[in-house]
Amino acid sequence: MSIITKHKYMTAAIDSWNSPPQNLTLDINEIHVWRVSLTQTESGLQTLAQTLSTDEQTKAERFHFPKDRSQFIVSRGALRAILSRYLHINPSHLRFEYNPYGKPSLIIAQSGNTLRFNLSHSRRMALIALTKNRDIGVDIEGINPNFPCLDIAERFFSPLENSVLRSLPEHLQPTAFFTCWTRKEAYIKAVGKGLSIPLNQFDVTLAPGEPAALLNIEQNPEEASRWSLIELIPSSDMVGAVAVAGDCWKLHCWEWKGEF
Protein backbone atom coordinates (compact mmCIF):
# COMPACT_ATOMS: atom_id res chain seq x y z
CA MET A 1 0.00 0.00 0.00
CA SER A 2 1.38 3.39 -0.87
CA ILE A 3 0.97 6.17 1.66
CA ILE A 4 2.32 9.57 0.85
CA THR A 5 2.86 11.69 3.91
CA LYS A 6 2.69 15.39 3.51
CA HIS A 7 4.71 18.01 5.17
CA LYS A 8 4.62 20.94 2.84
CA TYR A 9 4.66 19.77 -0.80
CA MET A 10 3.74 16.53 -2.46
CA THR A 11 3.16 14.66 -5.70
CA ALA A 12 1.19 11.49 -6.41
CA ALA A 13 3.26 9.90 -9.17
CA ILE A 14 2.00 7.69 -11.95
CA ASP A 15 2.74 4.51 -9.95
CA SER A 16 0.95 5.69 -6.80
CA TRP A 17 -2.49 4.32 -7.73
CA ASN A 18 -3.19 1.07 -5.86
CA SER A 19 -5.99 -1.36 -5.09
CA PRO A 20 -7.69 -0.32 -1.86
CA PRO A 21 -7.96 -2.67 1.15
CA GLN A 22 -11.29 -4.40 1.76
CA ASN A 23 -11.93 -2.50 4.97
CA LEU A 24 -11.40 1.04 3.92
CA THR A 25 -11.38 3.88 6.42
CA LEU A 26 -10.74 7.57 6.01
CA ASP A 27 -8.97 9.04 9.00
CA ILE A 28 -9.39 12.64 9.97
CA ASN A 29 -5.93 13.61 8.69
CA GLU A 30 -6.15 11.71 5.39
CA ILE A 31 -6.98 12.52 1.80
CA HIS A 32 -8.00 9.75 -0.56
CA VAL A 33 -7.99 10.26 -4.33
CA TRP A 34 -9.55 7.65 -6.61
CA ARG A 35 -8.62 7.22 -10.26
CA VAL A 36 -11.62 6.05 -12.27
CA SER A 37 -11.55 4.76 -15.83
CA LEU A 38 -14.63 6.05 -17.65
CA THR A 39 -14.41 3.28 -20.22
CA GLN A 40 -17.11 0.77 -19.26
CA THR A 41 -18.90 -2.13 -20.88
CA GLU A 42 -22.56 -1.60 -21.78
CA SER A 43 -23.63 -3.80 -18.86
CA GLY A 44 -21.32 -1.90 -16.47
CA LEU A 45 -22.87 1.34 -17.68
CA GLN A 46 -26.39 -0.02 -17.08
CA THR A 47 -25.49 -1.15 -13.56
CA LEU A 48 -24.09 2.26 -12.69
CA ALA A 49 -27.04 4.09 -14.29
CA GLN A 50 -29.43 2.20 -12.00
CA THR A 51 -27.76 3.70 -8.94
CA LEU A 52 -28.39 7.29 -10.09
CA SER A 53 -31.21 9.42 -8.71
CA THR A 54 -34.10 10.50 -10.93
CA ASP A 55 -32.64 13.98 -11.39
CA GLU A 56 -29.24 12.52 -12.31
CA GLN A 57 -30.85 10.20 -14.84
CA THR A 58 -32.73 13.17 -16.30
CA LYS A 59 -29.48 15.12 -16.53
CA ALA A 60 -27.79 12.14 -18.23
CA GLU A 61 -30.58 12.00 -20.83
CA ARG A 62 -30.03 15.65 -21.72
CA PHE A 63 -26.48 15.15 -23.00
CA HIS A 64 -26.43 15.40 -26.77
CA PHE A 65 -23.44 13.12 -27.34
CA PRO A 66 -23.51 9.51 -26.04
CA LYS A 67 -19.85 9.93 -25.00
CA ASP A 68 -20.78 12.80 -22.63
CA ARG A 69 -23.80 10.88 -21.33
CA SER A 70 -21.77 7.80 -20.47
CA GLN A 71 -18.99 9.92 -18.94
CA PHE A 72 -21.53 11.52 -16.61
CA ILE A 73 -23.18 8.19 -15.72
CA VAL A 74 -19.89 6.42 -14.99
CA SER A 75 -18.37 9.26 -12.97
CA ARG A 76 -21.58 9.79 -10.91
CA GLY A 77 -22.05 6.03 -10.52
CA ALA A 78 -18.43 5.59 -9.43
CA LEU A 79 -18.81 8.53 -7.02
CA ARG A 80 -21.84 6.84 -5.45
CA ALA A 81 -20.08 3.46 -5.29
CA ILE A 82 -16.98 4.97 -3.69
CA LEU A 83 -18.91 7.07 -1.14
CA SER A 84 -20.96 4.02 -0.17
CA ARG A 85 -17.75 2.16 0.74
CA TYR A 86 -16.97 4.76 3.38
CA LEU A 87 -20.51 5.41 4.58
CA HIS A 88 -21.93 1.87 4.34
CA ILE A 89 -25.03 3.25 2.66
CA ASN A 90 -26.43 1.72 -0.52
CA PRO A 91 -25.13 3.81 -3.48
CA SER A 92 -28.64 4.52 -4.75
CA HIS A 93 -29.73 5.81 -1.32
CA LEU A 94 -27.13 8.59 -1.21
CA ARG A 95 -28.57 12.09 -1.60
CA PHE A 96 -26.68 15.15 -2.76
CA GLU A 97 -27.32 18.83 -2.39
CA TYR A 98 -25.70 21.66 -4.38
CA ASN A 99 -24.33 25.07 -3.46
CA PRO A 100 -25.41 28.09 -5.58
CA TYR A 101 -22.45 27.44 -7.93
CA GLY A 102 -23.32 23.78 -8.49
CA LYS A 103 -20.83 22.09 -6.13
CA PRO A 104 -22.33 18.82 -4.93
CA SER A 105 -22.07 17.58 -1.34
CA LEU A 106 -23.75 14.89 0.71
CA ILE A 107 -26.75 16.01 2.68
CA ILE A 108 -25.68 16.42 6.28
CA ALA A 109 -27.80 13.57 7.64
CA GLN A 110 -25.80 11.11 5.53
CA SER A 111 -22.29 12.47 5.92
CA GLY A 112 -22.55 13.41 9.59
CA ASN A 113 -21.36 16.69 8.06
CA THR A 114 -17.80 15.38 7.94
CA LEU A 115 -17.18 13.61 4.60
CA ARG A 116 -16.26 16.03 1.82
CA PHE A 117 -15.60 15.13 -1.78
CA ASN A 118 -15.02 16.57 -5.22
CA LEU A 119 -14.94 15.10 -8.70
CA SER A 120 -13.37 15.95 -12.04
CA HIS A 121 -13.45 14.23 -15.41
CA SER A 122 -11.55 14.64 -18.65
CA ARG A 123 -11.22 12.40 -21.68
CA ARG A 124 -11.66 8.83 -20.40
CA MET A 125 -10.71 9.39 -16.79
CA ALA A 126 -12.16 10.83 -13.58
CA LEU A 127 -10.59 11.68 -10.24
CA ILE A 128 -12.60 11.66 -7.03
CA ALA A 129 -11.03 13.24 -3.93
CA LEU A 130 -12.32 12.72 -0.39
CA THR A 131 -11.46 14.05 3.02
CA LYS A 132 -13.14 14.89 6.32
CA ASN A 133 -14.08 18.24 7.77
CA ARG A 134 -12.23 20.37 5.25
CA ASP A 135 -12.93 21.87 1.87
CA ILE A 136 -11.48 19.98 -1.09
CA GLY A 137 -11.33 20.41 -4.86
CA VAL A 138 -9.84 18.29 -7.63
CA ASP A 139 -9.15 18.81 -11.32
CA ILE A 140 -7.84 16.62 -14.15
CA GLU A 141 -6.93 17.63 -17.69
CA GLY A 142 -5.44 15.88 -20.69
CA ILE A 143 -2.25 17.51 -22.00
CA ASN A 144 -2.91 18.76 -25.52
CA PRO A 145 0.45 19.50 -27.20
CA ASN A 146 -1.23 21.57 -29.93
CA PHE A 147 -3.26 23.79 -27.61
CA PRO A 148 -2.81 27.59 -28.06
CA CYS A 149 -1.38 27.80 -24.55
CA LEU A 150 0.07 31.29 -24.64
CA ASP A 151 -3.12 32.86 -26.04
CA ILE A 152 -5.37 31.20 -23.48
CA ALA A 153 -2.93 31.93 -20.64
CA GLU A 154 -2.99 35.58 -21.65
CA ARG A 155 -6.75 35.62 -21.02
CA PHE A 156 -6.95 33.56 -17.83
CA PHE A 157 -3.60 33.36 -16.01
CA SER A 158 -2.06 35.95 -13.69
CA PRO A 159 0.84 38.18 -14.84
CA LEU A 160 3.29 36.08 -12.78
CA GLU A 161 2.05 32.79 -14.28
CA ASN A 162 2.22 34.25 -17.79
CA SER A 163 5.81 35.34 -17.32
CA VAL A 164 6.84 31.91 -15.99
CA LEU A 165 5.05 30.15 -18.86
CA ARG A 166 6.67 32.37 -21.51
CA SER A 167 10.11 31.86 -20.00
CA LEU A 168 9.93 28.08 -20.57
CA PRO A 169 11.22 26.33 -23.70
CA GLU A 170 8.35 25.85 -26.16
CA HIS A 171 8.24 22.05 -25.78
CA LEU A 172 7.61 22.38 -22.02
CA GLN A 173 4.84 24.95 -22.29
CA PRO A 174 1.83 22.63 -22.88
CA THR A 175 2.51 20.53 -19.75
CA ALA A 176 3.18 23.67 -17.69
CA PHE A 177 -0.02 25.27 -19.01
CA PHE A 178 -2.24 22.30 -18.07
CA THR A 179 -0.43 21.89 -14.75
CA CYS A 180 -1.21 25.52 -13.96
CA TRP A 181 -4.81 25.14 -15.14
CA THR A 182 -5.50 22.10 -12.91
CA ARG A 183 -3.97 23.80 -9.86
CA LYS A 184 -6.13 26.88 -10.39
CA GLU A 185 -9.30 24.86 -11.02
CA ALA A 186 -8.66 22.63 -8.00
CA TYR A 187 -8.50 25.74 -5.83
CA ILE A 188 -11.67 27.37 -7.19
CA LYS A 189 -13.46 24.01 -6.89
CA ALA A 190 -12.33 23.63 -3.28
CA VAL A 191 -13.72 27.07 -2.50
CA GLY A 192 -16.84 25.97 -4.39
CA LYS A 193 -17.44 29.17 -6.35
CA GLY A 194 -16.21 27.85 -9.71
CA LEU A 195 -15.28 30.29 -12.43
CA SER A 196 -16.98 33.16 -10.61
CA ILE A 197 -13.52 33.51 -8.97
CA PRO A 198 -11.36 35.37 -11.53
CA LEU A 199 -8.54 32.98 -12.46
CA ASN A 200 -6.06 35.81 -13.01
CA GLN A 201 -6.35 37.11 -9.45
CA PHE A 202 -4.24 34.43 -7.79
CA ASP A 203 -0.91 32.74 -8.52
CA VAL A 204 0.07 29.07 -8.49
CA THR A 205 3.36 27.38 -9.34
CA LEU A 206 3.70 25.82 -12.81
CA ALA A 207 7.37 25.44 -13.75
CA PRO A 208 8.51 21.81 -14.27
CA GLY A 209 9.79 20.32 -11.02
CA GLU A 210 8.45 23.15 -8.90
CA PRO A 211 6.29 21.82 -6.04
CA ALA A 212 2.56 22.48 -6.34
CA ALA A 213 1.69 25.57 -4.33
CA LEU A 214 -0.75 28.42 -4.09
CA LEU A 215 1.52 31.47 -3.96
CA ASN A 216 -0.69 34.49 -3.54
CA ILE A 217 -4.33 35.47 -3.63
CA GLU A 218 -5.06 39.05 -4.52
CA GLN A 219 -6.83 41.13 -1.87
CA ASN A 220 -6.42 38.43 0.75
CA PRO A 221 -2.76 37.67 1.55
CA GLU A 222 -3.58 35.21 4.36
CA GLU A 223 -5.78 33.07 2.13
CA ALA A 224 -2.91 31.38 0.23
CA SER A 225 -1.35 30.00 3.41
CA ARG A 226 -4.66 28.37 4.39
CA TRP A 227 -4.46 25.96 1.46
CA SER A 228 -2.35 23.06 0.25
CA LEU A 229 -1.98 21.97 -3.36
CA ILE A 230 -1.06 18.41 -4.36
CA GLU A 231 0.20 17.43 -7.79
CA LEU A 232 -1.42 14.29 -9.25
CA ILE A 233 -0.05 12.37 -12.22
CA PRO A 234 -2.87 10.03 -13.25
CA SER A 235 -1.30 8.98 -16.57
CA SER A 236 1.55 9.94 -18.87
CA ASP A 237 -0.64 12.33 -20.89
CA MET A 238 -2.76 13.80 -18.08
CA VAL A 239 -2.17 16.10 -15.14
CA GLY A 240 -4.23 16.74 -12.04
CA ALA A 241 -4.29 18.61 -8.76
CA VAL A 242 -6.04 18.58 -5.41
CA ALA A 243 -6.54 21.68 -3.30
CA VAL A 244 -7.37 21.14 0.33
CA ALA A 245 -7.74 23.41 3.34
CA GLY A 246 -5.04 22.95 5.98
CA ASP A 247 -1.70 21.20 5.79
CA CYS A 248 -1.45 18.19 8.05
CA TRP A 249 -2.40 15.01 6.30
CA LYS A 250 -1.55 11.79 4.48
CA LEU A 251 -2.49 11.06 0.88
CA HIS A 252 -3.66 7.66 -0.43
CA CYS A 253 -4.30 7.10 -4.12
CA TRP A 254 -6.69 4.31 -5.10
CA GLU A 255 -7.71 2.75 -8.39
CA TRP A 256 -11.46 2.12 -8.81
CA LYS A 257 -12.05 -1.16 -10.62
CA GLY A 258 -15.83 -1.11 -10.83
CA GLU A 259 -16.42 -2.61 -7.40
CA PHE A 260 -19.30 -1.54 -5.14
Ligand X SMILES: CC(C)(COP(=O)(O)OP(=O)(O)OC[C@H]1O[C@@H](n2cnc3c(N)ncnc32)[C@H](O)[C@@H]1OP(=O)(O)O)[C@@H](O)C(=O)NCCC(=O)NCCS
196 counts as binding ligand X under rule CB under 6 A:
yes
Give the span between the Cα atoms of 146 and 128, in whole angstroms: 27
14 counts as binding ligand X under rule CB under 6 A:
no
Of 5 and 54, CB closest to ligand X? 54
- Residue 185, SS3 per DSSP: helix
The contacts found for 150-159 with CB under 8 angstroms, 24 or more apart, are: 152/177, 153/177, 153/180, 156/181, 156/184, 156/199, 156/200, 157/184, 157/199, 157/200, 158/199, 158/200, 158/201, 158/202, 158/203, 159/200
103 counts as binding ligand X under rule CB under 6 A:
yes
Q: What is the DSSP string of 48-100?
A: HHHTS-HHHHHHHHH-SSHHHHHHHHHHHHHHHHHHHHHH-S-GGG--EEE-T
195 counts as binding ligand X under rule CB under 6 A:
yes
102 counts as binding ligand X under rule CB under 6 A:
yes
Of 167 and 196, CB closest to ligand X? 196
192 counts as binding ligand X under rule CB under 6 A:
yes
Quote the least distance from Cβ 77 to ligand X, whole Å.
11
In sequence order, the β-bridge partners of residue 119 are 128
Stretch 215-244 residues interacting with ligand X (CB under 6 A): none
Spell out, one character per residue from 56 to 95, where the chain touches ligand X: x when CB under 6 A holds, - when not: ----------------x--xx-------------------
138's CB contacts (< 8 A; 6+ apart) are 33, 118, 119, 120, 127, 128, 129, 186, 189, 232, 240, 241, 242, 243
Of 178 and 254, CB closest to ligand X? 178
Query: Among the candidate windows 15-23, 32-40, 190-198, 238-246, which touches ligand X by CB under 6 A?
Result: 190-198
Q: Which amino acid is at 43?
A: S
Of 103 and 132, CB closest to ligand X? 103
Of 85 and 189, CB closest to ligand X? 189
104 counts as binding ligand X under rule CB under 6 A:
yes
Of 192 and 234, CB closest to ligand X? 192
Q: Which positions touch ligand X (CB under 6 A)?
A: 72, 75-76, 101-104, 118-121, 137, 139, 185, 188-189, 192, 194-196
